[in-house]
Amino acid sequence: EAEVAQSPRYKITEKSQAVAFWCDPISGHATLYWYRQILGQGPELLVQFQDESVVDDSQLPKDRFSAERLKGVDSTLKIQPAELGDSAMYLCASSLAGRETQYFGPGTRLLVL
């Protein structure tokens, strides 16, 4: 069964450093999402791509976060500089199209010291 791949699975960094997360969606899925999940809460959307275009980045802290999906396949989410409050699980999901079933990857757990 096809799965969403993410790396790394865990990342420990010091505040003010740069970090990057990678996501490879299920083959053929045009829509890709990055969510952030703080401990004890449900995930919240950071950014949504349709192919290579950003559809929704209204909740992305653009002063420090950036995301790209250059060829409309895999995607990278970057934080620079990292802050203590960025410690969370970062989840990538994909779907055939918007409003269809979303499938999640295993996530990247980030700890900022």
Partner 1 sequence: GIQVEQSPPDLILQEGANSTLRCNFSDSVNNLQWFHQNPWGQLINLFYIPSGTKQNGRLSATTVATERYSLLYISSSQTTDSGVYFCAVITQGGSEKLVFGKGTKLTVNP
By CB under 8 A, the residues from 46 to 85 that bind partner 1 are 48, 55-56
Among 44, 51, 62, 113, contact with partner 1 (rule: CB under 8 A): 44
- The 10 Å Cβ neighbour count of residue 68 is 14
Q: At 86, is the secondary structure helix, strand, or coil? A: helix
Q: At 75, is the secondary structure helix, strand, or coil? A: strand
Asked whether the beta carbons of 91 and 107 are under 8 A apart, the reply is yes
Among the candidate windows 19-27, 62-70, 79-87, 89-97, which touches partner 1 by CB under 8 A? 89-97
Q: Which of 32, 50, 49, 12 is nearest to 91 (CA)?
A: 32
In the complex, least distance from residue 78 CB atom to partner 1, rounded to whole angstroms:
20
Binding interface with partner 1 (CB under 8 A): 31, 33, 35, 37, 41-45, 48, 55-56, 89, 91, 93, 98-104, 106-107, 109
